[in-house]
Amino acid sequence: MDFGLQGKRAIVTGGSLGIGAAIARRLAGLGANVAINFRSHDQEARAVVSDIEAAGAKGLCVQADVKSFADAEKMVRQTAAQFGGLDILVCNAGINRDAVSWKMTEDQWDEVIATNLKGYFNYARAAIPIFREQASGKIVNVTSINGLRGKFGQSNYAASKGGIIAFTKTLARELGSKNINVNAVAPGLTETDMVAAMDEEAKLRSLKEIVLGRLGRPEDIANAVAFFASDLSRHVTGQVLNVDGGQLI
């Protein structure tokens, strides 16, 4: 099956670890040139770039904090200059700082919202002028099923992920006339460092919700992102695809 990604130019935020790294590798495996950002995981980012290049694509890693509007603009400019343009933006970078709402600190709230929600705006705002000028582009936002249902102890995280869904649908409305598709992928419980750090009892409770009876893998999310980034989704926009093994049913 031809995804039509050969020679496309992509940015994946949070691409040095976990789901983001799997997305970067999958896009490169389909022929796309991929830039990723890192804030502190420089060795991991360089390892992902090595994998991208081993797949025969061009790779780039840029030290950039997604919370910074200026860093986002810098990375988009640098990527477009080095790759000769930009076709795909995958916003994936995210963190959690869990606490029940009556114990959550202002810093816990602000850091999650700034990273998980404002970070997506920062990169979209930097990339959209390029996409509008060329009258084409793909934006794929990684959200969470907890943005659809809420989650005990995650008011900041769930609010940020719900905001991403609303942001996705709004961008789809704003940009559709310019042939720009904007969609979101909502993972359920997936094998990542974030999930590995979960309390074991909480992890078992979540696992029992999954109809397929297993954790997702980062590659499962990457496959869904690749679909939305490809020509196969040319007539799909404003949608949220749950990749959760039936966890939200």
Read off the pLDDT of residues 146-173 as tens digits, 9 standing for 90 and up: 999 999 999 999 999 999 999 999 999 9
User: Which candidate in 109, 120, 123, 157 is catalytic?
Assistant: 157
* Topology of the domain covering 9-188+223-243: Rossmann fold (3.40.50)
**96 within 8 A of 157, measured Cβ to Cβ:** yes
Domain positions in the chain are: 9-188+223-243
Letter string b/e over residues 183-200, b meaning 16 or more CB atoms within 10 A of that residue's CB: bbbbbbbbbbebbeebee
Q: Taking the complete model, does pTM exceed 0.85, yes or no?
A: yes
**Mean per-residue pLDDT for 176-191?**
97
Condensed to tens digits (0 to 9), the pLDDT of residues 67-83 reads 999 999 999 999 999 99
How is residue 133 written in tokens? 């000028």
What is the C-alpha to C-alpha distance for residues 79 and 88, in angstroms, rounded to an integer?
A: 11
Residue 157 annotated among the catalytic residues of the structure: yes
The secondary element (H helix, E strand) that includes residue 62 is strand 59-63
How is residue 74 written in tokens? 């810098």
Could you list the beta-strand ranges (E) of 52-136.
59-63, 88-91
